[in-house]
Amino acid sequence: MGVWESPTIDILQQKDTNLLNMVVKLIPLKKYAFEGNIEMSYSANNATSSLTTSASGNLLGLSLNLSVTDRNLAKSAIRMTNGIKAGVEFNTSHRNSSGTFINSNELSYSNTLLFPKFIFPFGIYNNKNLITNQSFINTNISLINRIDFFNQQVFNTAYGFNWTNNAKHLWSLKLFNFDYRRLYNRSASFDSTLNENPFLKYSFNTALVMGSAISYNLAKANPRNPKLVTNLKVNFEESGLPWDLLKEKNKNAQTGNFFNKYLKEFIKTDVEYVYTINHPKSAIALRAFAGVGIPLSNSDTTLPFFKQYFGGGPNSMRGWPVRGIGVGGQPLAPYQSTGIRFNDRTGDIQLEGNAEYRFNVAPLFSNAVLFKMAVFTDIGNIWNYKNTRPDGKEDTTQFKFQNLYKQLGVSSGVGFRFDFSYFVIRFDVALRFKRPDILENDGWQFPDVSLKNLFGSAYENRLWRYENFNATIGIDYPF
């Protein structure tokens, strides 16, 4: 329960008997715990992932996180954590309309209550087969400013339960999840981007998610061969199904009440499977991910953007920056040197497969750090579930089985890892072998790639590398 520092049990034989005395010694932790950390992110903001006339540049993000935890609230082993986060993201190459390099900023407050037992409505449930049973109440309030695009207010609260009936199986149920995100102060350039790209227009708006969710995690090693490790995650979420009754009958989003306007109705499920083969000095890791979200209302063409999937970045399709791949075969804008862009790419469906071979290279700094490397391949993309074109014509962002092969992205690369035992710093560099936005040769780059593309100093060769290579920095392994 996180209350005791070092619980121990001494076993003492009672003299002249066959009885044992069990002496339990409990040393309590300090009631309050304080934590502070700084997070940093860096991504190459690829110009080819833009949706409008764009300005190339790299994004550097910094955030400060402070939290205080009460480990024994109300002397009941209830754990309460209050946290504050302040973050800012810089565009290292271009100024915004205000003349600064700031790309976005965020300020948020969070509160978490963790009860060491089931509370209402399962408080009377007592299953001796459960190893742990917990209840939680999570609340978050955030203010986000995407400079030159929009402001966003976020209010989220969730109430649910965690339990394990086996050391390898973890269940989590959000009995009630309320997530309201308001977009306001939208800029003219952002509205113009939405009008030009319908698949964004239906995603980026004020939305309310109200429903339930359940997840299951399995982590186990093969009993016959502990080197083989399996991890399985399954999630299911719904919004609006029982709460549709709150809407006014025979009213639409324009004439109805708050729920008519903002409550989104959808179901969403995804599965992630990771299989790792460990050897003393190397490992092979395989990952498969499939997720789909289905908008249920006729007025909703996509999921809300904060519930959609995205690819790219240090833990996904590493040949693309975060939210840089897709949607489907959506063409990418040509390279530009001026202007402001909004380049978030999100979708209702995601399919992805990853393979990575990891191996030790050499110890560094008197064995304080182990230098490792990896070679990897990532395959996948994101799509929308419905046709997002107002005119009903063929939509390259919509998932269709006959286009699956053509619209899959493929990237491969090499990784450099520094293992400090308690965490790993990771640098990955990947090349896009197959691009879903290119029709010729189904997107395959080879055999048209030349040595000049890879090593030439001319502008067009440097531009080619900028548009087809991506470098990422990550903490710990990608999966």
162-214 pLDDT tens trace: 999 887 899 999 999 999 999 999 998 888 888 877 777 777 889 999 999 99
Interval 433-453 mean pLDDT: 87
CA 223, chain centre distance (Å)? 31
Q: Are 130 and 165 in contact (CB under 8 A)?
A: yes
Interval 450-466 mean pLDDT: 83
DSSP codes joined into one string, 348-373: SEEEEEEEEEEEEEEEETTTTEEEEE
Interval 374-400 mean pLDDT: 91
Q: Who's near 334: CB < 8 A, 6+ residues apart?
A: 48
Of 238, 262, 260, the C-alpha closest to 247 is: 260
Comparing 249 with 285, the larger pLDDT belongs to 285
The model's confidence at residue 129, banded by pLDDT at 50, 70 and 90, is confident
- pLDDT value for 59: 73
Q: Is the pLDDT of residue 408 over 90?
A: yes
The model's confidence at residue 304, banded by pLDDT at 50, 70 and 90, is very high
Alpha-carbon distance 416 to 473, whole Å?
10
May I ask the CATH class of domain 33-408?
Answer: mainly beta
**Looking at 123-127, 260-264, 288-292, 357-361, which range is the least confident one?**
123-127
Question: Two tokens at 252?
Answer: 């639409």
Comparing 467 with 279, the larger pLDDT belongs to 279
Phi and psi (nearest 5°) for 100?
-110, 170
- pLDDT value for 50: 36
Q: Is the pLDDT of residue 54 over 50?
A: no
Alpha-carbon distance 371 to 314, whole Å?
19
Alpha-carbon distance 479 to 170, whole Å?
18
Upstream peptide bond of 447 is cis (omega within 30 degrees of 0): yes
Return the domain boundaries, the chain: 33-408
The model's confidence at residue 44, banded by pLDDT at 50, 70 and 90, is low
Task: Supply the pTM of this predicted model.
Answer: 0.85
- pLDDT value for 61: 84
Q: Is the pLDDT of residue 149 over 80?
A: yes
Mean pLDDT of the chain: 88
Percent of the chain past pLDDT 90, that is, above it, reads 53
Q: Are 24 and 11 in contact (CB under 8 A)?
A: no
Q: Is the pLDDT of residue 71 over 60?
A: yes
The model's confidence at residue 394, banded by pLDDT at 50, 70 and 90, is confident
Interval 97-106 mean pLDDT: 83
Kind and range of the H or E element at 195?
Answer: helix 188-196
Q: Is the pLDDT of residue 336 over 70?
A: no
Phi and psi (nearest 5°) for 303?
-70, 160
Q: Is the pLDDT of residue 53 over 80?
A: no
Alpha-carbon distance 286 to 275, whole Å?
5
- pLDDT value for 202: 75
Question: Two tokens at 241?
Answer: 């199904």
C-alpha distances in Å from residue 438, one per residue of 32, 204, 397, 409: 56, 26, 14, 10
- pLDDT value for 52: 36
C-alpha distances in Å from residue 147, one per residue of 60, 127, 335: 15, 52, 22
Q: Is the pLDDT of residue 108 over 50?
A: yes
Q: Is the pLDDT of residue 46 over 60?
A: no
Terminal-to-terminal C-alpha distance of the chain: 28
Phi and psi (nearest 5°) for 466?
-65, -35
- pLDDT value for 300: 84
Q: Who's near 393: CB < 8 A, 6+ residues apart?
A: none
Q: Is the pLDDT of residue 257 over 70?
A: yes
Interval 260-273 mean pLDDT: 95
C-alpha angle 329/330/334, rounded to 5°? 120
Alpha-carbon distance 110 to 157, whole Å?
10
